[in-house]
Amino acid sequence: MILKYDPEFQAVHDAFEKNFKLEPLSLDYIESSARRREASMQAFIPKQVVHPDMEQATHPIVTSDGHAITVVSFRKRDPQSSPGPALLHFHGGGRIMGSAEGGAMILSALVMETSIPIFSVNYRLAPKFKGPIPALDGYAALLWLQNRADEFNVDPARIALLGYSGGGGVAAGVGLITRDRNLQPPQAKQILIYPMLDDRNLVENKGLKP
């Protein structure tokens, strides 16, 4: 049986493909091609929150190996009165591209709907930075958020790890580090959305062949 896309999805896909030419990724020049591919995709995605009731800020942190990364916070301007939960977010992008800023539109909408602040981590990317560096960056961000919980009105025992695709794999890695190092308080939960957990999640599907 030949599988076909849903017609509504196919129409969106065709329009995207027509207007945004994405060059194929190549192992020979994956870093440069990933950057160009990301630039094509991000050209039409806002990186700054425009909702008047939202506040977006960038916070520099230093990792365990002395490298500087940033965490981008998305919070309501009128936060809750007592300390509450928070989400530590890890963006997707196959671990080779993507950014915290690139998720501004989706993350701000989630904050407006739930009133839960989100802190998105600009972890270091492959191939320049190999594992476990992204997960260690995420762990550093978790420690940073716990240590500044009072400032952000966050309960340090109610911080959940959220990640999708490549970011889901990073979030899972952070969870393992918190377990191995017996972090107290521990992570509240993990929300892993179609996470990249190993390199065996691609299999041939004959139904998708032309």
Q: Would you list the domain boundaries of the chain?
A: 1-44, 47-208
Q: Which two tokens stand for residue 63?
A: 């990792």
Q: Cβ–Cβ contacts within 10 Å for residue 142, how many?
A: 24
Q: Select from 3.40.50.1370, 3.40.50.1820, 3.30.2000.10, 3.30.70.20 the CATH code of 47-208.
A: 3.40.50.1820
Residue 23 above 70 pLDDT? no
Contact between 117 and 89 (Cβ < 8 Å): no
Is the pLDDT higher at 54 or at 121?
121
Residue length of the chain: 210
| DSSP letter assigned to residue 201 | -
**Residue 170: both structure tokens together:** 């990073």
Phi, psi at 103, each rounded to 5°: -100, 10
Residue 30 identity: I
pLDDT band at 15 (very low <50, low <70, confident <90, very high): confident
pLDDT digits (tens, 9 = 90+) for 68-126: 999 999 999 887 778 999 999 999 988 888 899 988 889 999 999 999 999 999 999 98
Q: Quick one: angle between helices 166-180 and 133-147, nearest 10?
A: 70
Tokens encoding 126: 């492959």
Predicted confidence band of residue 54 (pLDDT cuts 50, 70, 90): confident
Phi, psi angle pair for 102, to nearest 5°: -65, -20
Q: Measured in Å, how far apart are the chain's first and last C-alpha atoms?
A: 12
The predicted pLDDT at position 206 comes to 72
Question: What is the pTM (predicted TM-score) of this model?
Answer: 0.83
Q: Tell me which residue has tokens 């709907």.
A: 113
SS3 48: coil
Q: Is there a contact between 21 and 40 (Cβ–Cβ < 8 Å)? A: yes
pLDDT single digits (tens) 152-171: 999 999 999 999 999 999 99
Q: Which residue has the higher pLDDT, 4 or 179?
A: 179
